[in-house]
Amino acid sequence: MGLFGKKDKKAASNLSSKSQLKIDDKKDGAEYTLLLEGRLDTITSPSLEAKINEAVGDASKLILDLGSLDYISSAGLRVLLGAAQAMDGKGDMIVRNLNQSVREVFDLTGFSNLFNIE
């Protein structure tokens, strides 16, 4: 009984941690940094979009640190594209610390050439 209880619990927590994104934001004058951790997918990308919309209003520099981002789908790419287009002409957007799998998605879709990547 105890064993089955434990097993169920583990499966449930794996499932809920499956689609999670943590966003830490830092503001230094008109420079905004968003640190992303986890997964940027269909379910989590609206929360990043909301944060970016907040920042874009008065940011002259938007830094997206993807150092702890493990996964990005087209839903995440659309949010990043929207952010870059919104910043275009009003300031800089920098994307930094891409891991291998995120880098591959950027290369596959041509996003590597669109963004200022550090």
Residues that bind another protein (CB under 8 A): 14-16, 18-19, 41-43, 70-75, 77-78, 81-82, 84-85, 88, 100-101, 104-105, 108-110, 114
CB of residue 54 vs another protein: minimum separation in angstroms?
20
**Maximum distance among all alpha carbons in the chain?**
62
CB atoms within 10 A of CB 61: 16
Q: Give the angle subtended at the CA of 100 by the CAs of 11 and 31, to the nearest 5°.
A: 100
Cβ proximity to another protein: between 54 and 88 the closer is 88
User: Minimum distance from CB of 113 to another protein (Å)?
Assistant: 8
Distance CA 26, CA 18 (A): 26
Closer of 11 and 25 to another protein (Cβ)? 11
Of 11 and 30, the one with the shorter C-beta distance to another protein is: 11
Paired tokens of 68 = 């702890």
Give the whole-angstrom CA distance, residue 38 versus residue 19. 8
Q: How far is the CB of 47 from another protein (least distance, A)?
A: 14
Closest contact distance (angstroms) between CB of 36 and another protein is: 16
Nearer to another protein, 8 or 88 (CB): 88
What sign has the CA pseudo-torsion 19, 105, 79, 68?
A: positive
